[in-house]
């Protein structure tokens, strides 16, 4: 095939009048209409000089046009680099520098801040607003609704998705066409997606979950999506009757359960609810079953690996587990000290191998070598076990990571900002349980001798440097941090001490 990703997910729907996107205003976009939009964008990207393998960074609101940009990248062979809309210009600058993106797409309001940065890095800029206006679509309008699909192979890169790391420096996970396609096909089959499915899509489309899991599975099945700009309880309840399936992070489900309108009758017609990106509490799973009669299907994945495991479609979906390795995925529980596989039932570090596993970190061979073994196993940093029935349970994280509402936050990145502030000697950032976001960020500060750090000034500095979802929800000042005999900060002690700040337990 000339371009496996484009041909399999997009091209085969050419000429189809079947609905692809149902919009909140009642409008809809057919497959043919979507592909025409994508082809026009592809023509424009090409006219701007983008070639296969070039990187396109997009920090844009969720919209049909933003999704068509992904399809246009597949069709032109351009590597798609979506960015969280919450990232500050400071954060985006790093991604542009590191990726060497040749085109940056932002909304009109962001142009003022990003334009000079992009120009300084030799990148072009185009705008795309939430309503589809802006220079990208103006340029695209001059192009044909067909585009000669660029020749690409399954091993060519399709996307670069940045994930933070324990050192505070983000790494671009290189995802090939094969990585994305293999996972889409496996999930479509495992979760029984067909062209009759209508997925209620309220996830962001700058991460694996909303972009690849939800969208690629729908495309692979030829189904449709109710494409909402974001998660909102009222909107979900309004559109639920037209949906057959929904994918979410645990916060979606706890928020829905907090609304009495979300009940058995409202969900009776639904075929499937899936959850991932963060641990779904067994208590949430049980409440959901008791309220609706549906067992949420929990699965486990990562940016670097797409999806690794899933509870069964048919069979027991066990609360507190992430199910079985997907077909084509090998999963081992290993001793973190030496990488040796551990006996069934013992807790260790999860390692995975398969066509789903990424190609390494963009221009970071050393980081790649630390996490991706030569035999193809990826060291996930998650701690877990395989139980007596073969279900994988995630029991913790070996990596210093906070997951808030499905977004990953690496404490080091925040500590680097806090440590720079006047009057701060050092800091430790921890995640503590939070009733809405699952976990949230707490900053613990040690002042320099005789100083009183100014909390407002510190939060203002965090606002400049870091996306809002990474900001500490509370700052605590201590005389010193608890350390072990090796001098390492004992975050477990801090987590225990401040564990009930938000839950009040």
- Contacting residues toward ligand AMP, per CB under 6 A: 163, 208, 276-279, 298, 300-303, 322, 380, 382, 394, 397, 403, 408
Q: By CB under 6 A, is residue 44 in contact with ligand MLC?
A: no
Q: How far is CA 321 from the centre of its chain?
A: 20
Distance CA 317, CA 275 (A): 12
Q: Judged by CB, which is closer to ligand AMP: 230, or 483? A: 230
Tokens at 191, concatenated: 């979760």
Q: By CB under 6 A, is residue 469 in contact with ligand MLC?
A: yes
Residue 415 is classified by DSSP as H
User: Are the CB atoms for 56 and 103 separated by under 8 Å?
Assistant: yes
Nearest-CB residue for ligand MLC: 405
Instruction: Report which of 453, 405, 403, 407 is spatially closest to residue 430, judged by C-alpha positions.
Output: 403
Q: By CB under 6 A, is residue 302 in contact with ligand MLC?
A: yes
Q: How far is the CB of 449 from ligand AMP (least distance, A)?
A: 38
- Residue 223 binds which one of ligand AMP, ligand MLC, none, with CB within 5 to 8 A depending on kind? none
Q: Judged by CB, which is closer to ligand AMP: 397, or 473? A: 397
In 10 A of CB 481, how many CB atoms?
Answer: 18
Element containing residue 290 per DSSP (H, E)? helix 282-292
Q: Are strands 198-201 and 171-176 parallel, antiparallel or unpaired?
A: unpaired
Q: Judged by CB, which is closer to ligand AMP: 205, or 278? A: 278
Element containing residue 446 per DSSP (H, E)? strand 438-447
Q: How far is the CB of 458 from ligand AMP (least distance, A)?
A: 26
Q: Which of residues 93-152 bind ligand MLC (CB under 6 A)?
A: none
Residue in 207, 239, 285, 318 binding ligand MLC, rule: CB under 6 A: 207
- Residue 163 binds which one of ligand AMP, ligand MLC, none, with CB within 5 to 8 A depending on kind? ligand AMP
Residue in 95, 231, 253, 410 binding ligand MLC, rule: CB under 6 A: 231
**Cβ-based neighbours of 177, under 8 Å, separated by 6 or more:** 3, 4, 5, 152, 153, 154, 155, 156, 157, 158
- Residue 397 binds which one of ligand AMP, ligand MLC, none, with CB within 5 to 8 A depending on kind? ligand AMP
Element containing residue 392 per DSSP (H, E)? strand 392-397
Q: Judged by CB, which is closer to ligand AMP: 127, or 274? A: 274
Tokens at 396, concatenated: 């913790």
Residue in 11, 301, 411, 431 binding ligand MLC, rule: CB under 6 A: 301
Stretch that binds ligand MLC, among 103-111, 175-183, 301-309, 316-324 (CB under 6 A): 301-309
Q: Judged by CB, which is closer to ligand MLC: 227, or 407? A: 407
Q: Is 247 helix (H, G, I), strand (E, B) or coil?
A: strand
- Residue 444 binds which one of ligand MLC, ligand AMP, none, with CB within 5 to 8 A depending on kind? none
Q: How far is the CB of 104 from ligand MLC (least distance, A)?
A: 22
- Residue 298 binds which one of ligand AMP, ligand MLC, none, with CB within 5 to 8 A depending on kind? ligand AMP
Q: Judged by CB, which is closer to ligand MLC: 76, or 408? A: 408
Q: By CB under 6 A, is residue 358 in contact with ligand MLC?
A: no
Instruction: Report which of 70, 16, 80, 12 is spatially closest to residue 38, judged by C-alpha positions.
Output: 70
Tokens at 302, concatenated: 């990562």
Beta bridge partners of 404: 407
User: Are the CB atoms for 284 and 469 separated by under 8 Å?
Assistant: no
Tokens at 337, concatenated: 């000290």
Distance CA 253, CA 258 (A): 9
Q: How far is the CB of 276 from ligand MLC (least distance, A)?
A: 4
- Residues in contact with ligand MLC by the rule CB under 6 A: 203-204, 207-210, 230-231, 249, 251, 276-277, 301-303, 404-407, 437, 468-469
């Amino acid at each position: 095939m000339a371009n496996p990703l484009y041909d399999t997910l997009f091209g085969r729907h050419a000429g189809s009048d079947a609905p692809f996107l149902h919009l909140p205003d009642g409008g809809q976009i057919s497959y043919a209409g979507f592909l025409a939009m994508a082809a026009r964008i592809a023509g424009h990207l090409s006219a701007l000089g983008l070639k296969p393998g070039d990187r396109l960074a997009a920090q844009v609101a969720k919209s049909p046009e933003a999704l068509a940009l992904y399809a246009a990248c597949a069709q032109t062979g351009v590597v798609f680099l979506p960015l969280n809309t919450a990232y500050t210009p400071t954060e985006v600058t790093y991604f542009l520098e590191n990726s060497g993106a040749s085109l940056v797409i932002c909304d009109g309001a962001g142009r003022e801040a990003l334009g000079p940065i992009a120009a300084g890095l030799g990148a072009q800029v185009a705008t795309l607003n939430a309503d589809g206006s802006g220079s990208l679509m103006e340029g695209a309008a001059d192009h044909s609704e067909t585009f000669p699909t660029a020749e690409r192979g399954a091993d060519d890169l399709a996307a670069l998705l940045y994930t933070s790391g324990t050192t505070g420096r983000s790494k671009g996970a290189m995802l090939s066409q094969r990585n994305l396609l293999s996972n889409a096909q496996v999930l479509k089959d495992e979760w029984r997606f067909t062209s009759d499915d209508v997925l209620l899509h309220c996830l962001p489309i700058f991460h694996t979950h909303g972009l690849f899991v939800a969208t690629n599975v729908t495309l692979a099945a030829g189904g449709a999506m109710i494409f909402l700009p974001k998660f909102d309880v009222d909107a979900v309840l309004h559109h639920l009757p037209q949906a057959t399936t929904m994918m979410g992070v645990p916060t979606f489900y706890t928020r829905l359960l907090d609304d009495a309108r979300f009940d058995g009758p409202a969900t009776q017609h639904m075929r499937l609810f899936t959850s991932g990106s963060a641990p779904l509490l067994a208590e949430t799973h049980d409440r959901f079953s008791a309220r609706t009669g549906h067992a949420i299907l929990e699965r486990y994945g990562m940016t670097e690996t797409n999806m690794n495991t899933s509870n069964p479609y048919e069979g027991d979906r066990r609360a507190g587990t992430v199910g079985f390795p997907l077909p084509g995925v090998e999963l081992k529980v290993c001793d973190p000290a030496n990488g040796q596989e551990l006996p069934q039932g013992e807790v260790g570090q999860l390692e995975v191998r398969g066509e789903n596993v990424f190609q390494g970190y963009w221009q970071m061979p050393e980081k790649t070598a630390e996490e991706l073994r030569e035999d193809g196993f990826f060291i996930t940093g998650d701690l877990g076990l395989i139980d007596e029935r073969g279900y994988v349970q995630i029991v913790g994280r070996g990596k210093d990571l906070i997951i808030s509402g499905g977004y990953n936050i690496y404490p080091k990145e925040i500590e680097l900002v806090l440590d720079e502030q006047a009057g701060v000697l050092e800091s430790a950032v921890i995640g503590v349980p939070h009733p809405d976001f699952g976990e949230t960020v707490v900053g613990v500060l040690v002042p320099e001798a005789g100083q009183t750090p100014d909390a407002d000034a510190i939060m203002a500095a965090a606002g400049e440097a870091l996306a809002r979802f990474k900001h500490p929800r509370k700052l605590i000042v201590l005389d010193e941090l608890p350390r072990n005999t090796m001098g390492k900060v004992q975050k477990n002690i801090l987590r225990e001490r401040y564990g009930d700040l938000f839950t009040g337990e």
